[in-house]
Amino acid sequence: MTSTIRSHGPRPLSVALVSEHASPLASLGTVDAGGQNVHVACLAGALADRGHQVAVYTRRDARRVPDVVELRPGVRVHHVPAGPPEHVAKDDLLPHMGAFGTWLLAEWRERPPDVVHSHFWMSGVASLVAVRDLKLPFLHTYHALGTVKRRHQGPCDTSPPQRIAYERDIGLRCDRVLATCRDEVDELVRMGVPAGRADVVPCGVDPERFRPEGSRAGRDPRYRHRLVQLGRLVPRKGTAVSIAALALVPDAELVVVGGPPAGRLDEDPEARRLRALARDAGVADRVRFLGGLTGEDVPAVLRSADLVLCPADYEPFGIVPLEAMACGRPVVASAVGGQLDTVVPGETGLLVPPGDPGALAGAVSELLARPAVRAAYGAAARSRALALYGWDRVAAATERSYRSVDSARRSPTAARTGPARTAAA
């Protein structure tokens, strides 16, 4: 059976988003739940706002969850039976992707979507099982690349050894790659995936939830300045760099948001490691771990910051800088991955080399000493987030890529040449 997007015009589409480990229903901040979960949930909602019907397919990881959950009007989440109905670490899921793909094949044989958009490499592996038989339009977003992870983590990389080969295969066999930043396109080219196969469509931010106005978390009156770091508690996020830098920044506290709820932080190995580093650096009294937060607590903490720190060793895209920028807060980030696109040095914040506490402390001290500059950067950051990264804009760019696949299939030479396109403008 041959299927293409049924309308070249504005007719609504039925969209299948495949996200094997990152459910839009998951609690954020744990080891395998972070930016991809946010991306899939918000993209699904924004596509629904544009009139499309969206089905999200994620692996069943608990026995007592419904087969289908309505996330919101126009978005349904399907729990796919693939592997045991319990939590399985992300890097151990590959053996179950055949079953995942076979289930999709049976599901879509009866009700084929107009377009399939997979998220993360294992979702691409599963999706290929179905799309190659049904000849469905197929786009892929990597969210992270194995070559980058292996380069930075070396022997600590727990990814399956086949990952990079699979990622190259997906990039060559899908209709389009939706890369989240320019740095990712360069990395794909080094892998052997031509730049002309990619559109650059960034992640987004909700500017109504993340805005300068609104409640602010209370601050400790003992400290003049507050630095905030938000994200999963994993080593690559660079919280250890922020702690080391804090020792060089007097009269400031560091608030760390992420990981399990506050009452369970003592059970978390990374939280224990970071607390020990803070003690060794002599700043334990100036570092507060809030654990994972939800709802309006997250923007309230961001609004309470003088600066938001994003010092990751590497960052495939990085949603936290956008959230901070939308809240009108300047960002000091490492010059890696998507942060090279989102943070404009000298306009919305500063970029520093990764893994360099001295450089981070220098940039932080420079901005803390210049409140007027911080205010100007914060205003520019909000404007940039509104202009480029609202989910409505990201969904519109994603839809354009979906429809371009139809054009490419009608004229096979049309979309396979030329440089990567930035589709979010």
Do 184 and 104 have their domain in common? yes
Q: With respect to residue 27, please indicate whether it lies within any of the assigned structural domains.
A: yes
One DSSP character per residue, 237-294 reads: G-HHHHHHHHTTSTTEEEEEE-SSBGGGGGG-HHHHHHHHHHHHTT-GGGEEEEE---
SS3 304: coil
Q: With respect to residue 5, please indicate whether it lies within any of the assigned structural domains.
A: no
Over the stretch 372-419, which tens digit does the pLDDT of each residue have? 999 999 999 999 999 999 999 999 999 999 999 977 777 655 544 445
Over the stretch 176-212, which tens digit does the pLDDT of each residue have? 999 999 999 999 999 999 999 999 999 999 999 999 9
Do 402 and 344 have their domain in common? no
Residue 10 pLDDT grade (very low, low, confident, very high; cuts 50, 70, 90): confident
| % of the chain surpassing 90 pLDDT | 84
Residue 35 pLDDT grade (very low, low, confident, very high; cuts 50, 70, 90): confident
Pairwise CA distance, residues 106 & 112, whole Å: 10
**pLDDT confidence of residue 180:** 95
Q: With respect to residue 211, please indicate whether it lies within any of the assigned structural domains.
A: no
Q: With respect to residue 173, please indicate whether it lies within any of the assigned structural domains.
A: yes
Do 253 and 352 have their domain in common? yes
Do 195 and 103 have their domain in common? yes
How many angstroms from the chain centroid is the CA of residue 306? 24
Do 294 and 355 have their domain in common? yes
| % of the chain surpassing 70 pLDDT | 92
Q: With respect to residue 189, please indicate whether it lies within any of the assigned structural domains.
A: yes
Do 186 and 52 have their domain in common? yes
Q: With respect to residue 6, please indicate whether it lies within any of the assigned structural domains.
A: no
SS3 182: helix
The domain total for the chain is: 2
Pairwise CA distance, residues 224 & 251, whole Å: 6
Burial class (CB in 10 A: 0-12, 13-18, 19+), 69: middle
Do 237 and 295 have their domain in common? yes
Pairwise CA distance, residues 182 & 170, whole Å: 19
Q: Are 252 and 226 in contact (CB under 8 A)?
A: yes
**pLDDT confidence of residue 38:** 86
Do 118 and 152 have their domain in common? yes
Residue 20 has pLDDT above 80, yes or no: yes
Instruction: Write out the residue range of the structural domain in which residue 291 sits.
Output: 225-388
Comparing CA positions, the residue from 154, 127, 148 lying closest to residue 138 is 127
